[in-house]
Homo-oligomer: A and B are copies of this chain.
């Protein structure tokens, strides 16, 4: 910690032993991560599907070694790149069933994003490589490192002869990077059985806000995706042969896209902001306290300036207010150079990130009505269709002052000697909502990795420090959460 204050922690005895064990086994834990990273469990690549399966089996062996009962659940198959391929099984596990202990459900994923050294990696992405106390490799931080953190935290309890104070349920999947296909159905099916006795859910698949300070995440935005399809003709036209004689689909589309959002990011759709939860003083205070360097954030991406001046405004805009982004156009010319085409049909893609209490279906209707009203004004003879992707995803938020978060707060202090920031995320982690629904219990997002780890990017890494301290944090979390008194139903 660059700004660490004087260490005032008085660690409970079990954690002293456990933390020492973790420190002493740093080399072994890195070796295990190295093994996990070497398995090319890229869920997007049908040719690597067997490696994802292998990865799930590898994790199953690890759970069995810890004494868990496990099941690799078949969740069917998918069509990928024109081939029908089986989905990788979901690994469910249970460790302990003492009715006096709280039962914690842990979620993680073992598949990864595609990676190739030719993408611009400085070392082979599937060979974990340590440079400057950082462990580079695909999946190191997203999400193999955090999954192993849980396993090593449990090992530390067991090998130090410390009673594991909670029962655990594990949900490890192999399709997270490819939309978690098949997962929701399985989880819903297991609602009355596997998830029946869960008291809390903890997910470690997100990141610190910055690089210096741990955080607890209590909210995520939802999302609606839209496609505006304009069709002008049955084939692409040569702009020489047809330019000046036809109503061009592209200019119609640009006309609509230009009326979605203004320079300052204000969404121009009437009524869009109606349901946004008002800002309370207590919530505002959380923003004031957060350690966040706006300049560093903007410099990191080499932008000219942030959309808002202050830290608070910036974070609120990303976390608690909706935003609309235009992603691109399908069907138009997108290559380098020039192709003088009048595209026959173009689909403008944009999405809106949703916040409490926006309802995706209501938002979707507002958007469609608005686009139709613009289209009527345009008076173009071309054809308009508005495409939506599924029903959209709900935003997620929980009370950051509940006992579950308080336990994680204490765990954070015991490892880092600092209060965690309370953050939200601008993106979505759909499984959060599903696990909340099937358990009916509180979900905590407990990040291990740093904000600059580069999940999904070249040179993804996890710092040795975060990997080790994060493992301690998980152990401390299990300790603290075990002490919550839950009244029997």
Chain A residues close to B by CB (< 8 Å): 221, 223, 225, 227, 232-235, 237-248, 250-252, 254-255, 257-258, 260-263, 265, 297-298, 301-308, 314, 317-318, 321-330, 332-344, 349, 351, 353, 378-383, 389, 425-428, 456-457
> Would you call the interface of chain A mostly helix, strand, loop, or mixed?
loop
Q: Can you show 20 pairs from A to B with CB atoms below 8 A apart?
A: A225-B340, A239-B323, A240-B425, A240-B428, A241-B425, A245-B307, A245-B426, A246-B298, A246-B301, A246-B307, A247-B303, A248-B261, A248-B265, A251-B263, A254-B257, A263-B378, A325-B341, A327-B341, A327-B343, A328-B341
Partner of A334, one of B302, B329, B457: B329
A238 touching B427 in the complex, CB below 8 Å, given contacts A245-B314, A255-B258, A317-B245: yes
CA distance A337 to B233 in the complex (A): 22
Residues of chain B with a CB closer than 8 A to A332's CB:
326-329, 334
Interfacial chain B residues near A342, Cβ < 8 Å: 325, 327
A353 touches B314 (CB 8 A): no
Q: Is the CB of A338 within 8 A of B329?
A: no
Task: Give the docked Cα–Cα distance between A298 and B323 (Å).
Answer: 41
Q: Nearest residue in B to A353 (C-beta to C-beta)?
A: B243
* Neighbouring B residues of A324 by C-beta, 8 Å: 243
Q: Which of B244, B317, B338 contacts A349 (CB 8 A)?
A: B338
**Known contacts A263-B379, A381-B304; is A243 also within 8 Å of B318 by CB?**
yes
Which residue of B243, B322, B330, B333 contacts A335 across the interface (Cβ within 8 Å)?
A: B330
A258-B255, A338-B351 given as contacts; is B240 within 8 A of A223 (CB)? yes
A244 with B307: in contact, given A329-B328, A343-B327 (CB under 8 Å)? yes
